[in-house]
Amino acid sequence: MQPYCESLTAYKRLKTLEVKVGDLLLGNYHPIRVQTMTTTDTMDTIATVEQSVRCIEAGAELIRITAPSKHEADNLKAIKDELRKRGYHTPLVADIHFTPNAAEIAARIVEKVRVNPGNYVDKKKFEFIEYTDSEYREEIERIRDRFTPLVRICKEYGTAMRIGTNHGSLSDRIMSRYGDTPMGMVESAMEFLRIARAESFHNIVLSMKSSNPLVMVQAYRLLVQQMNAEFKACYPLHLGVTEAGDGEDGRIKSAIGIGSLLEDGIGDTIRVSLTEDPEFEIPVCQDLVKRFDGKESHQPIKEILQVPYDPFQYQRRKTHAISNIGDKHVPVVVADFMKAETIVPADLRSIGYSYDEGTDKWTISDAAADYIYTGKKMVDFALPGTLKVICNFNTWLQANDKEKYYPLFQDAEFAKFKERSQGINFLSVDADTPAAYDVLMGTIDQTIVFCVWSSNVRSMPSVRRYIMELMNRGISNPVILAVESHQESIDEQLIHFSTETGGVLLDGMGDGVWLMNDPSRIHNVKMKGRTYLETKNNHQFLNNTSFSILQASRNRISKTEYISCPSCGRTLFDLQETTARIRSVTHHLKGVKIAIMGCIVNGPGEMADADFGYVGSGPGKVTLYKGKEVVKRAVDSHVAVDELIQLLKQSEVWIEP
Ligand code: SF4
């Protein structure tokens, strides 16, 4: 076994214990279950039932409902009864924060309760407290006293439990001892798990969510390692990226985090948290899960004996710079124009360059591609200074400007040709062929940038395996991750690109991305009652996706970052509408992280590392935050977006659009 999964090369689900949630079995190689959470007021029985029905009809196998107080916990009975009356037997999960009393009621009614160890009995007031070891032990005993009754109720009623840690809501005690780290997240869950195990209660699922996919992936890996070390067994894992947002960004962030773990066989149930109606989360979950159907029969990938990096701690692979690729340079984006019959200046608008004929000048956006691949074509107009061309070797031979044009070789071909670029030589290798490994024999030309792809159905592990081989051989040439999608919808393509590249980028590998597809295969339609994302310009879609993946994996920041909660029964305003409004006025603030959270109870804790927060604090009221600090309380929601802009101006991060 590898440090955190069965294998990095052969697809194998991680063996976990079996958990029973009503009639649904989870873990122990059962299918990966998909789930979501309602956004209605839990006291509104009919609205919650109807939304649950929509989610169940879409394919949800578990429905989570918030129970902030005893009232809502009691009302779960009415919701459950109504659902059963209508013929729906999908297990229900009560979502608990802060209130043990509500949990103890809910555990007698629904099939599963979720507790957050950061705020169940423990405190979250953003205080730093120094604990001696004995004080720390006393705190854990206090938690044991308060948590054990819930464990006993779950045991008595056959109710399952999720111990769900959130990166943003670790308790002050955990933060004081472990900081805001994946280890803190793991220990927070392990403390509760040890208490439950001491009661011989094992009907438990765990989660380690964060809005940052990097933190989330490391925390899950570490949790697997810790459970194996301490218990010689793993409890099933519920995967999710919190506050992922909406649209493309929400899907990309979720796929990078969830998809990377699923690739390594980790994960027994998933929830994709989107700031959209919950039934729309289900198709995204299904698209993620179905990628793994039949993956066991992939072409074999040679096992890797030495893992040359620390999978629990991010460190970018050390490479040497070749022009603007590798070393400390942000990963580059390659726009693929091979299939375009012609290329005219207006085409470059879709990859971030706008040409003004009057001034004969290019305007370059923050998300402008660095290279354009033209195949056999030359470009017959003056390109913007920051854009360079990759073309096939024979085309490159004819190019006059060798500072602007660079050749692309196909693996073994490189050795055959004597003529080469003095600057960069791009070398395309299929990581699954012997030829890819043959090119590593002998001395490696320092000007080679590897463009690594894979024809295997398990492309990410093949590419990762190849880069590990480079590392083990001490080869420091940069690598561009080349990924092709044959999926038919934009949603599936987003998930494919994000999983294939994100999984490698999170391990610090990859100095660029090069995404390709066949636009004629994409169905820009709504079908089977599902809402698909749509796109009109394929180059723009691929370019935006590349930059969004680099941003979500924290490799290259090119736009504003939004951390918006999915909303739930606690939400105090229309989150989708408010997020869209805030996005429309702040989308140009590159690198600024803005959180939009539905309630003051969990919002401030869960907005993680946001620079600014817009948090619902009462009906029609919003509280504005700068970091973790309250700046304006109870702002009328009609003027709250203007007040947020004022705050951004005072904080000197505002620029005029
Ligand atoms: S932050 Fe959002 S999702 Fe979380 S409890 Fe509050 S309203 Fe619900």
Among the atoms of ligand 1, which is closest to the Cα of residue 572?
A: 7
Q: Which atom of ligand 1 is nearest to the CA of 568?
A: 8
Q: What is the mean pLDDT of residues 317-324?
A: 98
Separation between Cα atoms, residue 307 and residue 402, nearest integer Å: 38
Three-class SS of residue 449?
strand
Mean pLDDT of 284-313: 91
Is 0.85 topped by the overall pTM?
yes
Report the pLDDT value the prediction gives residue 533, as an integer from 0 to 100. 62
Give me the pLDDT at residue 589, please: 94
* Rounded distance from Cα 203 to ligand 1 centre (Å): 26
Q: What percent of the chain has pLDDT over 90?
A: 77
Average pLDDT over the chain, rounded to whole?
92
pLDDT at 575: 87
* CA–CA distance, 23 with 26 (Å, rounded to integer): 10
Name the range with the highest mean pLDDT among 470-479, 613-622, 628-637: 470-479
What average pLDDT does this structure show over 155-184?
A: 91
> Which atom number of ligand 1 is nearest to the Cα of residue 95?
5
Average pLDDT over residues 268-272: 97
Scan for tokens 């005690």, then name that residue. 173
Cβ of 570 below 6 Å from ligand 1: yes
Q: Is the CB of residue 508 below 6 angstroms from any atom belonging to ligand 1?
A: no
Residue 529 confidence (pLDDT) above 60: no
565 Cβ closer than 6 Å to some ligand 1 atom: yes
- Residues 408-435: pLDDT tens digits? 999 888 888 889 999 999 999 999 999 9
Which residue puts its alpha carbon closest to atom 4 of ligand 1?
A: 602
Distance between CA atoms of residues 606 and 596, nearest Å: 10
Please check the confidence at residue 534 and state whether its pLDDT lies above 70: no
Other CB atoms within a 10 A radius of the CB of residue 189 amount to 25
Using DSSP, state whether 33 is helix, strand or coil. Answer: strand
| pLDDT exceeds cutoff 50 at 527 | no
Q: Identify which has the larger pLDDT, 524 or 514.
A: 514
Q: How confident is residue 523, by pLDDT bands cut at 50, 70 and 90?
A: low
pLDDT band at 255 (very low <50, low <70, confident <90, very high): very high
Phi, psi of 326 (to 5 degrees): 90, 180
Checking if the pLDDT of 383 tops 80, the result is: yes
> Is 597 near ligand 1, meaning CB less than 6 Å away?
yes
Output the CA 83–ligand 1 centroid distance in Å: 24
pLDDT of residue 381: 93
Q: Supply the pLDDT for residue 428.
A: 97
Residues 473-482: tens digit of each pLDDT: 999 999 999 9
In the structure encoding, which two tokens stand for residue 401, read together? 């400007």
Residues in contact with 214: Cβ distance below 8 Å, sequence separation at least 6, in sequence order: 314, 506, 553, 554
* 603 Cα nearest atom in ligand 1: 1
CA of residue 387 to ligand 1 center, whole Å = 43
Burial class of residue 27, CB neighbours in 10 A (0-12, 13-18, 19+): buried
Range of weakest confidence among 213-217, 497-501, 605-609: 605-609
Q: Is the pLDDT of residue 127 over 70?
A: no
Is residue 536's pLDDT more than 80? no
Q: Is the CB of 604 under 6 A from ligand 1?
A: no
In terms of Cα–Cα distance, which of 164, 66, 75 is closest to 570?
Answer: 66
CA 66 to ligand 1 centroid distance, Å: 9
Higher pLDDT, 548 or 605: 548
